Amino acid sequence: MNLRRLTLFELKDKFLKGEVSAVEIVKAYFQRLMLAESKVKAYITTAKKDALVKEANELDYSLSKWRKTMPLMAMPIAVKDNICTEGVKTTCGSRMLENFVPPYDATVVARMREHGCYLIGKTNMDEFAMGSSTENSAFGPTRNPWNLAYIPGGSSGGSAAAVAAELCVAALGSDTGGSIRQPAACCGVVGLKPTYGRVSRYGLVAFASSLDQIGPITRDVRDAAVMIQMIAGHDPLDSTSADMPVPDYTKALKENLRGMKVGVPLEFFAEGLDPEVELAVRTAIIQMQALKAEIKEISLPMTKYAIATYYLIATAEASSNLARYDGVKYGYRAPKEKGLLEMYMKTRQEGFGAEVKRRIMLGTYALSAGYYDAYYGKAQAVRTLIKRDFDEAFKEVDVIVTPTMPTPAFKLGEKLQDPLQMYLSDIYTISVNLAGVPAISLPCGLSSRKLPIGLQIIGRPFEEEKVLRAAYAYEQASEWHLKRPSL
Amino acid sequence: MEISKEQVEHVAKLARLEVSENEKAMFARQLSAILTYMDQLKEVDTEGVEPTATVLPTENVFREDAVKPSLTQERALANAPDQADGFFRVPKILEDR
């Protein structure tokens, strides 16, 4: 039996039954890291093998004396490098934070540690989560485990690649405009962006605070349900975290879609959609119908304005959030500058990469005197209309099904010189963040080049259960989640 | 929307970003292209539409004003690029006379 092939649900079941030991699990994953990490480069930092084996040994010994278990005990889980981990470098893929060691854990990390998980590493990402390919990392790109010449998606490309390449059993990512779902689609794994407010953002390095949300990237839908169960819920340390009860997500998983109304928005099947992706998604919709779902054509007419709206709001928020990197309290400082202003300006020039600077510039421009109303104010009003589209649609349907991405993964370097083309790859994921609703991406096909294709299922606010149920029923009726890259 | 090199310089200064001559030309070109794309928002009628700053219902979140443990000075300073006597140290702000 190959331990690293098991899902989180299967592995924790075997561990809790005493069929495998913590040491066996840890060793299996480090063996895999030795073999595959140099090809994929999913991680910025990995745990130290000796220390983790020692910890696992002690755990196995103490369990042999006194059986007290926790739900994620001994599970090697990866965390995106913009989520703070006490005592472990959190770089955000940036020179600016290359040596930043947080003095505290993000709430999600604290909760997962309380549930007994092992932090196996911090995953690579586009700098400050700005990008769709993980090529904007200051520490070099991550590669797609299905084909090393292709991007893994982004910005949580390291987390998605690590799950796909079996370099961890599950991972956390963050999603501001698709950064969990789009890489999950590229790497043939499952990625869930929860409702805005479902999961605490405390300790997530801020990019665009009204859009950011942490969520799991996993091998299958059941694992996504297990993971969100661990991290969801109110947190007094995040005033935007919702004070609402957390349901039992694994109980929501059912094998059919009886009574479920599924909307298919015609705007998501328009120009620019790759024919192979369209075929895979349409086939999935037919399968959902066979599972007794009622399929309904719907319209989200504001979809075409989502990218323009998003890139004004997200960059405006980013320009404000990233003002904190001034070389004073933490992070990089340009050496030998005489005055304070020169120090600020040089620090930021040297510490930030090109895409981050471009977005800071765009956001600063959109917020500057004379342009605020025309750009930022306008975008906020259009955001209201985008949200209304979803409100209207959800009066008629329970979930909405779309492609996650207009094409399969593209080649490394292909869109690096043209930022606008790169932004357009987020077209199907972005409106979900603007509306604040939950959505999942799961595998629904392979292209002729053997690259994964993702299906996106969107739900009403705080109805992750229905999203998970729809995803699970489809997944169980298909076999795409069982396909693995031959790395 | 065309962005000139002078506008790039102005915005860069607002953002406290030093930009090289090369970057100025590049940003002027790229931001012009991006903002031209953004101009499509002008065709949307937003007359009387309230802006959305956050999707959550906005309400004040209060907590008790109680003293709780927090980071020690040492830990708060641990990541500082420069420090002295328990403070963050920065380059001189005032001119010598």
pLDDT digits (tens, 9 = 90+) for B25-64: 999 999 999 999 999 999 999 999 999 999 988 778 888 8
Q: For chain A, give the mean pLDDT.
A: 96
- Number of separate domains in chain B: 1
Contact A167, A33 (CB under 8 A): yes
Cβ of B14 within 8 Å of Cβ of A364? The answer is yes
Asked if the structure places residue A487 within a domain, the reply is: no
Asked if the structure places residue A389 within a domain, the reply is: no
Asked if the structure places residue B88 within a domain, the reply is: no
Where do we find the tokens 């094998």?
A255
Query: What's A417's domain CATH number?
Result: 3.90.1300.10
Q: Looking at chain A, which residue has its C-alpha nearest residue B33?
A: A420
- Number of separate domains in chain A: 1
> Within a 10 A sphere around the Cβ of A418, how many other Cβ atoms?
12
Contact A80, A158 (CB under 8 A): yes
Asked if the structure places residue A287 within a domain, the reply is: no
Q: Which of B13, B44, B72, B89 to mutate to test the interface with A (most CBs of A within 10 A)?
A: B44
pLDDT value of position B97: 65
Closest CA to A318 of A83, A183, A131: A131
Contact A169, A6 (CB under 8 A): yes
Cβ of B27 within 8 Å of Cβ of A375? The answer is no
Q: How many CB pairs under 8 A join A and B?
A: 159
Q: Which residues of A touch B81 (CB under 8 A)?
A: 327-328, 330-333
For residue A84, the distance in angstroms to the closest alpha carbon of chain B comes to: 14
Distance CA A348, CA B90 (A): 15
**The tokens of A230 are what?**
């661990």
Q: What is the pLDDT of residues A55-97, one digit of tens each?
A: 999 999 999 888 788 999 999 999 999 999 999 999 999 999 9
Distance CA B38, CA B54 (A): 21
Q: Which residues of B touch A380 (CB under 8 A)?
A: 51-53
Asked if the structure places residue A370 within a domain, the reply is: no
Asked if the structure places residue A284 within a domain, the reply is: no
Q: Does A194 touch chain B (CB under 8 A)?
A: no
pLDDT value of position A422: 84
Structural domain of A184:
3-263+397-482
Query: What's B29's domain CATH number?
Result: 1.10.20.60
Q: Which residues of B touch A85 (CB under 8 A)?
A: none
Q: Which residues of B touch A382 (CB under 8 A)?
A: 41, 44, 46
Contact A126, A136 (CB under 8 A): yes
Q: What is the DSSP string of A229-250?
A: HHHBS--TT-TTS---PPP-TG
What ipTM was reported for this prediction? 0.94
pLDDT value of position A421: 83
The residues of chain A scoring below 50 in pLDDT are none
Q: What is the pLDDT of residues A110-143, one digit of tens each?
A: 999 999 999 999 999 999 999 999 999 999 999 9
Asked if the structure places residue B23 within a domain, the reply is: yes
Structural domain of B35:
5-42
Asked if the structure places residue A322 within a domain, the reply is: no
Q: Looking at chain B, which residue has its C-alpha nearest residue A360?
A: B15
